[in-house]
């Protein structure tokens, strides 16, 4: 007997939602980038970012609304909306229909639940530890990764989704049941709602859902997981001095929270018109791996642009209007007078003419016989226009460093 009309309609709806998710994550129209990125639909991203960076953002309402729906219809989000879930449905059990010993053992361990609880605990102290493992973040990161040149970073960012799908081919539903932190979060929230007697959850308890649901409940594990997560998050924040020196997109939260809040979705990198954002390697410490950093080799942060501040789903970059963004300090320029062409008797004024904030001017050297560029620190935003314009090679005579300076900044200051 074929599927009924209701089931056929649901299948069509799933297909439409999946295509919409792909269109948002990977717009086919050149130059169009969705201002509301896909990961805002994730309840885990909404709760994690709301707890860790409680600034008012209307996009959080989308994830919270979906969470309420998940309480009413258990795991309905997983079955009908999550694009990873839809892809998994297409791959499910293609190569294997019997569980192996490893899968049977893994089913006993609620890994996703621990990931979620640790993340929630970390969020309480401003550092949601594993927000980047959210499936919508993995989906967006995978699509974004293959849009540019294939680098090691792109490969690392893009490999997680294929790995989840491969797992689904061998071990059906193992990811959803035991590894996915977003699925575990829905189960946890459902369990909590039932415990406090929320009427939706009480009614939904009678409906079919994943077998493992709400078994663990909200109890000792929650307190242990959240407690360890909070301690871990606090240590992570305190120890991220090694990430100093990275120039983050304008509007980014402080560095000690940024690497926890950024879910590595790549939306800001994709949205940047002059393409000055790229994924960080281990250059600024392991915590910053794949997070966005700015470099000014061939472009600068344009004074007429605030795109990256509009597309961050996690609050790692705060939403800024253009006038506010123009006042944000991304970094500080520093001049090396020993290599600057103007300061060494040449005729170059490239940095002075390119600075959109008029932070550079020609000044007389102390001897009165030569000139040099003078920087007004109160006007410099670290946009990088000067560095991009400087013709000196291989190391430019004017460079931008992170506001905290980092090791390189301190060295440069001493020149």
Residues near ligand SF4 (CB under 6 A) are: 249-250, 262-268, 271-274, 276-277, 291-292, 294, 301-302, 305-308, 311-312, 314, 316-317
Looking at the Cβ atoms of 59 and 191, the one nearer to ligand SF4 is 59
Q: Using the minimum distance from each CB to ligand SF4, give the nearer residue, 79 or 302.
A: 302
Cα–Cα distances in Å, from 155 out to 165, 196, 312?
Answer: 16, 44, 21
Cβ proximity to ligand SF4: between 120 and 212 the closer is 120
DSSP-derived secondary structure letter, 332: E
CA atoms within a 13 Å half-sphere pointing along the CA-CB vector of 28: 5
Q: How far is the CB of 171 from ligand SF4 (least distance, A)?
A: 29
Q: Please, what is the minimum distance in Å from the beta carbon of residue 386 to ligand SF4?
A: 15
| The pairing of beta strand 292-294 with beta strand 332-335 | unpaired
User: CB-wise, 38 or 352, nearer to ligand SF4?
Assistant: 38
Smallest gap from residue 29 Cβ to ligand SF4 (A): 18
Q: Quick count: other Cβ atoms within 10 Å of Cβ 379?
A: 12
In angstroms, give the least distance from the CB of 49 to ligand SF4.
9
For ligand SF4, which is the closer residue by CB, 115 or 193?
A: 115
The token pair that represents 54 in the structure block:
């409680």
Phi, psi dihedrals of residue 335, rounded to the nearest 5°: -105, 135
* DSSP structure string for 255-301: HHHHHHH-----HHHHH-TT--EEE--GGG-GGGTTSEEE--SS---
Smallest gap from Cβ 303 to ligand SF4, in A, equals 9
Compute the distance between CA of residue 318 and CA of residue 391 in angstroms, rounded to an integer.
34
CA distances from 66 to 58, 82, 179, 235, 331 (A): 14, 11, 20, 32, 38
Give the nearer residue to ligand SF4 in terms of CB position, either 124 or 305. Answer: 305
What is the chain's length?
A: 415
Pair 285, 242: CB distance under 8 Å: yes
The nearest distance, CB 353 to ligand SF4, in angstroms, is: 19
Question: What is the smallest separation between the CB atom of 368 and ligand SF4, expressed in angstroms?
Answer: 39
């Amino acid at each position: 007997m074929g599927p009924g009309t209701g089931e056929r309609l649901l299948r069509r709806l799933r297909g439409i939602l999946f295509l919409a998710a792909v269109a948002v994550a990977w717009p086919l129209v050149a130059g169009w980038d969705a201002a509301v990125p896909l990961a805002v639909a994730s309840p885990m991203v909404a709760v994690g970012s709301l707890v860790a960076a409680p600034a008012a953002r209307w996009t959080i309402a989308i994830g919270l609304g979906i969470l309420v729906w998940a309480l009413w219809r258990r795991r309905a989000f997983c079955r009908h909306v999550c694009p990873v879930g839809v892809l998994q449905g297409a791959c499910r059990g293609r190569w294997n229909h019997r569980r192996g010993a490893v899968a049977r053992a893994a089913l006993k361990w609620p890994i996703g639940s621990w990931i979620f609880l640790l993340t929630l605990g970390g969020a309480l102290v401003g550092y949601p530890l594993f927000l980047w493992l959210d499936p919508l973040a993995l989906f967006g990161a995978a699509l974004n990764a293959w849009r540019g040149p294939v680098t090691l970073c792109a490969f690392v960012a893009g490999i997680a989704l294929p790995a989840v799908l491969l797992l689904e081919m061998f071990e059906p539903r193992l990811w959803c049941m035991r590894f996915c932190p977003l699925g575990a979060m829905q189960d946890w929230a459902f369990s909590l709602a039932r415990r406090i007697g929320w009427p939706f959850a009480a009614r939904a308890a009678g409906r079919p859902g994943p077998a493992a649901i709400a078994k663990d409940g909200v109890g000792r594990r929650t307190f242990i997981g959240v407690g360890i997560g909070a301690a871990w998050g606090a240590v992570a924040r305190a120890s991220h001095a090694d990430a100093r020196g990275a120039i983050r997109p304008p509007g980014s939260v402080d560095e000690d929270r940024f690497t926890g809040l950024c879910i590595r979705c790549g939306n800001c990198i994709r949205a940047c018109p002059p393409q000055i954002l790229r994924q960080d390697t281990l250059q600024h410490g392991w915590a910053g791996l794949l997070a966005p950093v700015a470099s000014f080799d061939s472009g600068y942060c344009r004074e007429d642009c605030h795109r990256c501040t509009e597309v961050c789903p996690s609050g790692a970059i705060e939403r800024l209007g253009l006038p506010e963004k123009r006042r944000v300090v991304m970094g500080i320029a520093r001049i090396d007078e020993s290599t600057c062409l103007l300061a060494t008797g040449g005729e170059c004024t490239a940095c002075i003419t390119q600075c959109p904030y008029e932070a550079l001017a020609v000044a007389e050297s102390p001897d009165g016989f030569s000139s040099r560029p003078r920087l007004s620190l109160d006007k410099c935003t670290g946009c990088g226009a000067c560095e991009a314009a400087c013709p000196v090679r291989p190391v430019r005579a004017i460079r931008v460093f992170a506001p905290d300076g980092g090791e390189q900044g301190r060295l440069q200051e001493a020149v």
